[in-house]
Chain A
Amino acid sequence: MKEFKVKIEVKLKPVVLDPQGKTVLQALNNLGYAEVGDARIGKLIELTVSDGSAENVRERVNEMCMKLLSNPVIENFDINIEEQNA
């Protein structure tokens, strides 16, 4: 059994309006950061998972994202898996 650190980025789909991101964008522009053209806000979820292989982890975490961690109607997700050294 190996241990993995899994990072899941959950982001609103591009077609979904992100009022929070818009507000942050405006605040950044107001602070003088005129170079910022867009801001989108998502979530970062970190899991510690014990499993036999990274492929298994990916399959199971993908399932978790579809069932609970993301809402496929409005969100996309990226999964990043890192094996921990014993």
Chain B
Amino acid sequence: MLKFGIVVFPGSNCDHDCYHTIKHVLGHDARFVWHEETDLSEYDCIIIPGGFSYGDYLRTGSIASLSPIMQSVSDYACAGGPVIGICNGFQVLVEAGLLPGSLIKNASLKFICKWVYLRLENSDTLFTSNMNIGDVLRIPVAHGEGNYFCTAEDLKELERNSQIIFRYSTPLGEVIDEANPNGSLDNIAGISNKEGNVLGMMPHPERCSEGLMGGEDGRAIFESLISNLHQKGRAIREA
């Protein structure tokens, strides 16, 4: 059984959804990790959940990115530990410098809460290996600042290293402006770091991992990660 650490900041509000999905839907161990804690040694994966950490003051994710736990998350990620940031968690990861770019106000200026479609752009990662490039996932978004922006050089770098994991698309997988809910550069919905162990995404896979929720496409992300971590564990045990 794997153990997931779910980071809780003041203002996190998707922490329990992540906990439920990991523990009750996928059958693995999950613990909440308060933002003042610093020891992550017992966890196989860290999830930074969605919400409005510190009331979104100054910039979304900016205050959370400086909390004690984030130095540990940074060390954990640099040592190769898997980290997933969802929605506000993605905003925290870019503010912490663990992922490039920034998430700015939606082009429409509106908070968007709806189901969207994502085209999988890279299936060769810890988080997506159970899927194929071109697969289309139906996943909900709920954010006011999900408009991904980065410099032209950063974008080239992201493309060169296949760090763009998900793009907003039509149900048929066409990546076009009409399918872009928030104005994100190149329809980017989720990226990884260069090493591939840190994933940030605006859509909420934890909100669609069981049929009861009206869709379960999000589960493939957690299941990919779980099978990869099991394989890694087996390799370590056999070595």
Residue ranges of A at the interface with B (Cβ–Cβ < 8 Å): 12, 16-17, 19-20, 23, 67-69, 71, 73-74
Q: Would B149 and A73 count as touching, CB distance under 8 A?
A: yes
A71 & B95 in contact (Cβ 8 Å cutoff): yes
Partner of B183, one of A17, A69, A71: A17
| Interchain CA distance A17-B141 in the complex, whole Å | 21
- A81, chain B: closest CB distance, angstroms: 21
A11 to chain B, nearest CB (A): 13
Q: Type the 1/0 row for B87-102, where 1 means its CB is closer than 8 Å to any CB of A.
A: 0000000110000111
By size class, the interface of chain B is: 10 to 19
Q: With the chains together, A67 CA to B108 CA distance in Å?
A: 29
Pick 13 A–B contacts, CB within 8 A, sort by A. Answer: A17-B104, A17-B183, A19-B106, A19-B107, A20-B109, A23-B109, A67-B66, A68-B58, A71-B62, A71-B102, A73-B94, A73-B151, A74-B149
B105 within 8 A of A: yes
Interface pair B108/A69, CB less than 8 Å apart: no
User: Which of A71, A73, A74 has the most chain B CB within a 10 Å cutoff?
Assistant: A73
Contacts A19-B183, A73-B150, A74-B149; is A68 near B104 (CB within 8 Å)?
A: no
Q: Which of the residues A20, A67, A71 comes within 8 Å of B105, measured between beta carbons?
A: A20
Once A and B bind, how many residue pairs between them come within 8 Å at the CB atom? 34
Q: Separation in Å of the A25 CB from the closest CB of chain B? A: 13
Q: Is B28 interfacial (CB-CB < 8 Å)?
A: no
Cα–Cα distance between A52 and B91 once the two chains are bound (Å): 37
Q: Is the CB of B109 within 8 A of A16?
A: no
- Known A-B contacts A17-B183, A19-B183, A69-B58; the reply to A74 vs B105 at CB < 8 A is no
Q: Which residues of B contact A67 (CB under 8 A)?
A: 66
- Docked-complex contact B108 and A19, CB < 8 angstroms: yes
Chain A min CB distance to B67 (Å): 12
How far, in angstroms, from A23 to B62 measured CA to CA in the complex?
A: 25
**B58, B101, B109: residue with the most chain A Cβ atoms closer than 10 Å:** B58
* Nearest chain A CB to B55 CB, angstrom units: 15
Residue in B95, B101, B102, B109 whose beta carbon sits within 8 Å of that of A19 in the complex: B109
Complex CA distance for A67 and B63, rounded to whole angstroms = 11
